[in-house]
């Protein structure tokens, strides 16, 4: 038998970012939410997809920021913040939808939106003064400013209690000294949320205070941006502060409340972050499934070889269970119920499924998936970090197991 396709070019099976594999009317979303999904997807197809390869190739931070700002200005900033403050005025489920659609083409819009509208705007919305909201938060949400958050330090990775950056009160100011590493948007930011040790003698949960730093302040320095394995176009920065003076009016929350400021946002942040991992997973699944119907080897489409068909089955299950976990978690947040265990489970499971599914897609598409003719290699390079940042898989397992054991002790009574 002659083989109709010697090679299957990417253009022949070009993904429409889930338009093929994800129905427009998913049953667990309302009609309004499904319509919103399609609206955000249209934006991603028109405004993001055409630029992802070029951004990756040129490591183009400026274009990344430009696209991210455009997305924020179009109303996809942060759906959990009301419209009158510059947010999307919906809820965590809508934010999950935005994250999925924005991440489906690659890590371009999220590179701006996550540090700016999640890591910085959300804590200001929850803990900020009216002045901080008007002067900083609204500009972040409307796509005027770039933001980020500086938690990680040389001695403080998974263990935030290792923070060594100090904040000392001096008159109406606080004086900050220290280093921050691996800060998303660090070199591009107008404002950064900085966590610093304000009371070394206090118990761990009261040691830190958070501040909004204007990056034009003297003493703030970008040491370098790290060259990265993936996420081309994202600035991941090493930052230094030497006698940086921050007015007390830019303190976020009370002195000693920094740890609480950081922890408060984790449930909604992780619930919505599920979308960041589902987006690329869905893209790769769609490419692999289409390819398996087109590529002929041994006289039949490769999908008919059980080894390939069963891989697709497993990919589908990982995608669907990730979606259901994300949906359940976002709904719990929207009901204002605690979702710490659930959001950690979601972050852990969906990020690991994403890495797995992308690897499976590469295996199915074969040699050509290892080339830049297909986007799978780019998505894999981006995705490898998903199990590390935002709390490693090990930290999530620690949170989940502590929560289970705490609950189980109560079941004994």
- Residue 150 or 275: the one with the smaller Cβ distance to ligand FAD is 150
- Residue 282 or 347: the one with the smaller Cβ distance to ligand FAD is 347
- Residue 107 or 174: the one with the smaller Cβ distance to ligand FAD is 107
- Residue 136 or 183: the one with the smaller Cβ distance to ligand FAD is 183
In the complex, the smallest distance separating the C-beta of residue 383 from ligand FAD, rounded to whole angstroms, is: 11
341: alpha, beta or left? (left if phi > 0; alpha if psi -120 to 50): alpha
In the complex, the smallest distance separating the C-beta of residue 218 from ligand FAD, rounded to whole angstroms, is: 23
In the complex, the smallest distance separating the C-beta of residue 308 from ligand FAD, rounded to whole angstroms, is: 32
In the complex, the smallest distance separating the C-beta of residue 265 from ligand FAD, rounded to whole angstroms, is: 13
In the complex, the smallest distance separating the C-beta of residue 120 from ligand FAD, rounded to whole angstroms, is: 10
In the complex, the smallest distance separating the C-beta of residue 196 from ligand FAD, rounded to whole angstroms, is: 12
In the complex, the smallest distance separating the C-beta of residue 346 from ligand FAD, rounded to whole angstroms, is: 17
Report the residue closest to ligand FAD, judged by CB.
157
**Distance of alpha carbon 404 from alpha carbon 413, whole angstroms:** 15
Strands 236-247, 173-184: pairing is antiparallel
- Residue 97 or 235: the one with the smaller Cβ distance to ligand FAD is 235
**Distance of alpha carbon 122 from alpha carbon 79, whole angstroms:** 10
79: alpha, beta or left? (left if phi > 0; alpha if psi -120 to 50): alpha
* Largest separation between any pair of C-alpha atoms in the chain: 85
Query: Residue 399 in contact with residue 340, Cβ under 8 Å?
Result: yes
In the complex, the smallest distance separating the C-beta of residue 166 from ligand FAD, rounded to whole angstroms, is: 17
Helices marked H in 104-218 — which ranges?
Answer: 109-113, 121-127, 130-132, 138-141
How big is the CA angle at 102 (ends 62 and 71), to the nearest 5 degrees?
55
Residue 103's contacts (CB-CB under 8 Å, 6 or more residues apart) are: 109, 110, 275, 276, 277, 278, 279, 280
- Residue 88 or 148: the one with the smaller Cβ distance to ligand FAD is 148
Where along the sequence are the contacts to ligand FAD (CB under 6 A)? 115, 119, 148-152, 157-158, 182-184, 231, 236, 385, 388-389, 392, 394-395
What CA–CA distances, in Å, run from 179 to 205, 206, 219, 244, 255? 21, 20, 12, 12, 20
Q: Which residues pair with 177 in a beta bridge?
A: 166
Structure tokens at 269: 């942040």
156: alpha, beta or left? (left if phi > 0; alpha if psi -120 to 50): beta
Straight-line distance from the first to the last Cα atom of the chain, in angstroms, rounded to the nearest whole number:
70
Query: Residue 145 in contact with residue 190, Cβ under 8 Å?
Result: yes
Structure tokens at 254: 């009370």
- Residue 231 or 345: the one with the smaller Cβ distance to ligand FAD is 231
Query: Residue 212 in contact with residue 250, Cβ under 8 Å?
Result: yes
- Residue 93 or 387: the one with the smaller Cβ distance to ligand FAD is 387
**Distance of alpha carbon 396 from alpha carbon 402, whole angstroms:** 10
In the complex, the smallest distance separating the C-beta of residue 132 from ligand FAD, rounded to whole angstroms, is: 20
- Residue 212 or 287: the one with the smaller Cβ distance to ligand FAD is 212
> Which of 145, 125, 138 is closest to 190 using CA atoms?
145
- Residue 119 or 285: the one with the smaller Cβ distance to ligand FAD is 119
In the complex, the smallest distance separating the C-beta of residue 212 from ligand FAD, rounded to whole angstroms, is: 15
- Residue 62 or 402: the one with the smaller Cβ distance to ligand FAD is 402
In the complex, the smallest distance separating the C-beta of residue 117 from ligand FAD, rounded to whole angstroms, is: 13
């Amino acid at each position: 038998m002659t083989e109709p396709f010697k090679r299957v070019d990417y253009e022949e099976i070009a993904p429409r970012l889930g338009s093929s594999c994800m129905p427009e009317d998913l049953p667990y979303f309302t009609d309004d939410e499904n319509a919103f999904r399609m609206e955000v997807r249209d934006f991603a197809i028109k405004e993001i997809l055409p630029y992802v390869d070029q951004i990756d190739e040129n490591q183009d931070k400026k274009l990344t920021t430009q696209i991210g700002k455009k997305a924020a200005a179009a109303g996809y900033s942060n759906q959990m913040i009301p419209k009158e403050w510059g947010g999307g005025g919906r809820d965590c489920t809508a934010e999950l939808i935005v994250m999925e659609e924005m991440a489906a083409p690659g890590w371009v819009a999220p590179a701006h939106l996550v540090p700016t509208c999640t890591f910085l705007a959300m804590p200001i919305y929850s803990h900020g003064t009216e002045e901080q909201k008007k002067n900083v938060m609204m500009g972040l949400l409307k796509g005027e400013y770039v933001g980020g958050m500086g938690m990680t330090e040389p001695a403080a990775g998974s263990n935030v209690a290792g923070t060594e950056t100090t904040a000392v009160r001096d008159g109406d100011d606080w004086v900050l000294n220290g280093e921050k590493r691996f800060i998303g948007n660090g070199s591009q930011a107008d404002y950064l949320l900085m966590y610093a040790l304000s009371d070394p003698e206090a118990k761990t949960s009261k040691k830190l205070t958070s501040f909004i730093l204007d990056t034009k302040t003297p003493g703030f320095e970008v040491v370098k941006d790290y060259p990265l394995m993936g996420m081309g176009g994202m600035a991941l920065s090493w930052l230094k502060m030497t006698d940086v003076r921050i007015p007390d009016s830019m303190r976020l929350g009370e002195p000693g409340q920094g740890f609480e400021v950081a922890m408060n946002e984790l449930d909604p942040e992780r619930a919505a972050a599920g979308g960041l991992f589902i987006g690329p997973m869905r893209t790769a699944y769609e490419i692999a499934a289409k390819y398996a119907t087109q590529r002929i080897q041994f006289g039949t489409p490769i999908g008919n070889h059980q080894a390939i068909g069963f891989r697709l089955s497993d990919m589908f299950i990982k995608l669907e269970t990730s979606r259901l976990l994300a949906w359940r978690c976002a709904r719990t947040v929207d009901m204002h119920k605690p979702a710490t265990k659930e959001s950690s489970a979601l972050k852990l499971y969906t990020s690991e499924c994403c890495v797995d599914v992308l690897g499976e897609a590469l295996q199915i598409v074969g040699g050509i998936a290892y080339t830049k003719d297909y986007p799978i290699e780019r998505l894999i390079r981006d995705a490898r970090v998903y199990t590390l940042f935002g709390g490693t898989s090990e930290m999530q397992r620690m949170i989940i197991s502590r929560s289970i054991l705490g609950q189980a002790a109560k079941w004994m009574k």
